[in-house]
A and B are shown apart, each in its own frame.
Chain A
Amino acid sequence: MKKELKIKQKERTNPLAHVFDDFIRFCQSKSLFMLHYCTGCGAIELPPAMTSRFDMERLGIQPMVTPRQADILLITGYVSIKTLKRVILTYEQMQSPKYVIGICSCTVNGGMYWQSYATAKKLNEYMPVDVYIAGCMPRPEAVMAGLQRLKDNIRNDKKEHKGSAWKDYFKRYDYYLGNQQALFGEDWQTPTDIIAEAKLYGLETEETYGKHTKLLEKHQTPLLPQEMRIK
């Protein structure tokens, strides 16, 4: 069992705060935009799940084309190490609250590619995963059940337990960064400043920092606004 990490929380004075929270969670769970990052063969089950046959939209879930406007990141299948870099960049660009679903056995444990030198094995070493849908490949029914499970998790997330996996990325950034560095080398840096974001959301804990973030600080180049120019 993971130990509870303390965050500095603002004092909440409104007596109706928990009612609002509940309402917000209800609304959140009813309207989700999904970015499907089709890395592997499991993606083939998504068209029927999204379109008229199984119709994801009746759950309030719609596909979205950009990570910046999506709530769910759907990883459908094996993630090669080269793809994993892109997946992490995509994930970090998404706005919180964000959810990750790993479809296919390959995201759980490498699946049938467990012997391969080129695929990452456990997706949740590199980013927090909310729901895994196992199967090689899972049928659309299973995909729908998984999405329903995610919705329930978000709806019933009173104690910030199941539906708040995304917070874990900020709370234990050092762990995730460490795993990423082990694969991509020590000079790995993403264009997103996670530590600054953790501060912004008020989600820093003692495990946000560590020896891996120190390593990052050493070589981190500051992020500058891009020059706008027409050639």
Chain B
Amino acid sequence: MNKVQIDEILNKVNGIKITHKRKTRIRVDVDADSLPTLLELIKGRASYIHLSAITCVDWIADNQFELVYHVWSYEEKCLISAHTRIDRGSEKNPAKYISVYDLFKPADFFERDIFEMYGVTFIGSPRMEKFILTEWNGVPPMLKDFDAEAYVQETFKWTDYNPDWLQELTDQGGGIAVKPEDIRTAGNTHNMSTHRERDKAKAAAVKANDKMQGWKQ
């Protein structure tokens, strides 16, 4: 099947955008409504029978989830990644989407995983329940608005680095260069938006610490 033929099949779906990345990869963008049609079409007409993964991206600024269905064809040796966006929902009204379990049985596994990590309910999926995080009762942890660092700070205690037993090592020129507490307070900047800002804050804390301790090389 060549490029023209696959394009012809894909173009049967309304409002589709096709990007040929390379010979073995095609990206398509579709509406949430027409995604099941697309999957059915490429499974039935173009030998794309292996759903190898469903992934989810949390676009918190757009208030949307992006779902990506990766479907592989053994005959074409080509992967179609179908991207679609659904409404992110809210705490009271969680995001919903239709399951593709009737088309691809492995979807059970992936949909359950996304349900657990992002809280997207897939209607028609056989087991929408806890999967790996059996001990977890909080919000779905992969959501961008779940602050893992703040959660950790209030749930766990830290080992304190007791200078009594460290003194001996420090006298010999060893010991701890930067105390974990200092990194942690610098890292306690979970409202900072970029990694670069965080890194800057951390670097500043390290520098301050160096000065304080008069750390010698």
Residues in chain A within 8 A of chain B (CB atoms): 81-82, 85, 108-110, 114-118, 120-122, 125, 183-184
Determine the residue in chain B with the shortest Cβ distance to A110.
B156
B158 CB–A CB distance under 8 Å: yes
Q: Is the CB of B135 within 8 A of A122?
A: no
Please tell me if B211 contacts chain A, counting CB pairs below 8 Å. Answer: no
Report the bound CA distance from A120 to B159 in whole Å.
12
B135 and A121 form a contact (CB under 8 A):
no
Interface of B is mostly: loop
| Residue B106 CB within 8 A of the other chain | no
Query: Given the interface contacts A117-B151, A117-B152, does A109 sit within 8 Å of B180 by beta carbon?
Result: yes
- Asked if B60 is at the interface of the complex by the 8 Å CB criterion, the answer is no
| 24 A/B residue pairs, CB under 8 Å, sorted by A | A81-B135, A82-B133, A82-B134, A82-B135, A109-B158, A109-B159, A110-B152, A110-B158, A114-B152, A114-B180, A115-B148, A115-B149, A116-B148, A116-B152, A117-B136, A117-B138, A117-B141, A117-B151, A117-B152, A117-B155, A118-B136, A120-B156, A121-B152, A121-B159
Q: Which residues of A contact B141 (CB under 8 A)?
A: 117-118
- How far does the alpha carbon of A184 sit from the alpha carbon of B146 in the complex, in Å? 20
Knowing A110-B156, A125-B157 are in contact, say whether A117-B135 is a contact too (CB < 8 A). no
- Decide yes or no: A122 and B157 within 8 Å by CB, A82-B135, A85-B135, A117-B141 being known contacts: yes
* Shortest CB distance B160–A (Å): 10
Q: Which residues of A contact B133 (CB under 8 A)?
A: 82, 118
Min CB–CB distance B157 → chain A (angstroms) = 6
Determine the chain B residues whose CB is within 8 A of the CB of A120 once the complex forms: 156
Interface string of B149-172 (1 = CB under 8 A from A): 101100111110000000000000
